[in-house]
Amino acid sequence: MSRRIRIFLGVVLLAISISLLIWGFAPTRREIRTQPIAPNEMQLPYLIESVS
């Protein structure tokens, strides 16, 4: 009986620990955003003002 309890506790502890390890070492998801920039958005500021 004590052997069964010991095995049960060991399996539960192992399951929780492996869950913690998986969560702790899992790579984080990364979000990538891409925004195109036209050349006229990189002009000199005073030139843009004078044109408008």
Partner 1 sequence: MKTYGFFLRLFLILLTALTLFACGGMYSAAPEAPASTDQPAAEEIPPTQFVSTALPNTGGGESVIPTLPPAIPERRRITLEFPPQIRAGDSDIVRLTLEVDDLGNLTPTAEVGGNLVTGETVEIPNLYETHNVIAEARFDIAGMQVSPSGLASQPLSQGQSVSFYWSIRPDGVGVYRGTVWLYLRFRERSSGAESQKAVSAQPVEIEAVNFLGLSGDLARSFGVVGSIAGTVIGFPFLEDIVRFFFRRQKRK
Least separation, in Å, of the C-beta of 37 and partner 1?
5
Site track 2-41 with partner 1 (rule: CB under 8 A), x = hit: -x--xxxxxxxxxxxxxxxx-xxx--xxxxxxxxxxxxxx
Tokens for 51?
Answer: 């044109």
Using the Cα atoms of residue 41, residue 45, residue 47 and residue 51 in order, give the sign of their dihedral.
positive
In this complex, which beta carbon is closest to partner 1, that of residue 1 or of residue 41? Answer: 41
CB of 1 to partner 1, least distance (A): 14
CA atoms of 38 and 52, how far apart (whole Å)? 17
Question: Given the rule CB under 8 A, which residues bind partner 1?
Answer: 3, 6-21, 23-25, 28-47, 50-51
